[in-house]
Amino acid sequence: MDQNMYQIAIVGFGGMGSYHTKLIQPVAQLQVRGVYDILPYRLELAATQGLRAYGSLEEILEDDQVDVVLIATPNDSHKEIAIRSLQAGKHVICEKPVTITSADFLEITAAAEAAGRVFTVHQNRRWDPDFLIVKEIVEKKKAGEVFHVESRVQGANGIPGDWRQLVAYGGGMLLDWGVHLLDQLLLLTDSKIESVKADLSTILGTEVDDGFTTTIHFKDGLSAVIEVGTTNYIKLPRWYVKGTEGTAVIRDWSLEGEIVRTNPDVAKVEPTPIQAGVGLTKTMAPPSEKSTLRLPVEKAAPPAQSFYENFAALLEGRSAQAVKNEQVLRVLRLIETVFEAARTQTVVKDIDL
């Protein structure tokens, strides 16, 4: 076998587990060797794809040809599988949320350090084009200094699947989607967090939250509203970004949106009052077209490496880890703070995050 080829075994061959085979395939140094799942039909599906169907996790861990274990099982099982795999000398990739608690995550990273193996989390939405556009708007000050960000994902289909509706498995939208949106938010600023306020939605009557809204204030002055909903028949924009010189909106994953900002070449023109209901207003009138620019949102350049390109380069010692474990820990601790703020219905302050 080529010494630069790393063999991967996937534990959990459902929707995400099987999707990983497509993500891995373009990376020459990585190859999926086989899978293990508790459902026989998924093993049969894997076999039709030329993959080895392992009868148990133990079989994977005993296979000397397996270099990497990829975990795509329900959230509550990640910790045990990860630690056993690391102790067996395997590198580990884990789906998100990596664990239900930050304490569990610290046990995994301690096991990785003791074993001298790589442990990383598949926070894949760092590569989403909509997020990369917003990141560039912030970094390049396309709307001036950004002081407020709203990030939402909304649908009207309820909580998908079965285990995602159960507390014991780590279900709920804060863990399922919040882990993505909060991870993206924390990449937009280096500032510490000043306060967190939150509400969980339980409209559907499941054991877990079917959505949430949290307002986060950072010490550098940035504020953010993060919202996930599964009972929204009309969606709000995916992103709404306010800066000192303009506003940007990205309406959905099709990247439809725009930036409206001041025109630096034209002096401000006072707006003309408009009829608003039974009165007139100049305050809420649209800004003068002469003193503003309406710009399209432009796709940002993708990162130099995909998640799996980075993982292969990391194993070969050519790159640093893209999804750093300290970043993952910060997101988990923020999720725990959001849960606390919602439970106590207080604004949580004095946060070491």
So what's the pLDDT on residue 170? 94
The Cα–Cα gap between 74 and 107 comes to 18
So what's the pLDDT on residue 95? 97
Q: 227 and 216 in contact (C-beta within 8 Å)?
A: no
Residue 145 CA from chain centroid, whole number: 24
Q: 16 and 72 in contact (C-beta within 8 Å)?
A: yes
So what's the pLDDT on residue 41? 94
Q: 171 and 207 in contact (C-beta within 8 Å)?
A: yes
- Coil, helix or strand for 217? strand
Q: What is the DSSP string of 6-61?
A: EEEEEE--SHHHHHHHHHHTT-TTEEEEEEE-SSHHHHHHHHHTT-EE-SSHHHHH
Residue 249 CA from chain centroid, whole number: 19
CB atoms within 10 A of CB 140: 9
So what's the pLDDT on residue 1? 38
Residue 63 CA from chain centroid, whole number: 32
So what's the pLDDT on residue 4? 77
The Cα–Cα gap between 187 and 189 comes to 6
N- to C-terminal Cα separation, the chain: 45
So what's the pLDDT on residue 160? 85
Tokens of 246: 């303009």
So what's the pLDDT on residue 268? 82
Tokens of 222: 């940035």
pLDDT per position as a tens digit, 39-66: 999 999 999 999 999 999 999 999 999 9
Q: 291 and 257 in contact (C-beta within 8 Å)?
A: no
Beta strands in 118-204 (DSSP E): 119-121, 146-154, 193-201
Sequence-distant (≥ 6) Cβ neighbours of residue 61 within 8 angstroms: 69, 84, 85, 88, 90
So what's the pLDDT on residue 2? 46
Q: 132 and 116 in contact (C-beta within 8 Å)?
A: no
Q: 246 and 142 in contact (C-beta within 8 Å)?
A: yes
**Cβ neighbourhood burial of 99 (10 Å; 0-12, 13-18, 19+):** buried
So what's the pLDDT on residue 270? 85
| Regions of the chain short of the pLDDT cut 70 | 1-3
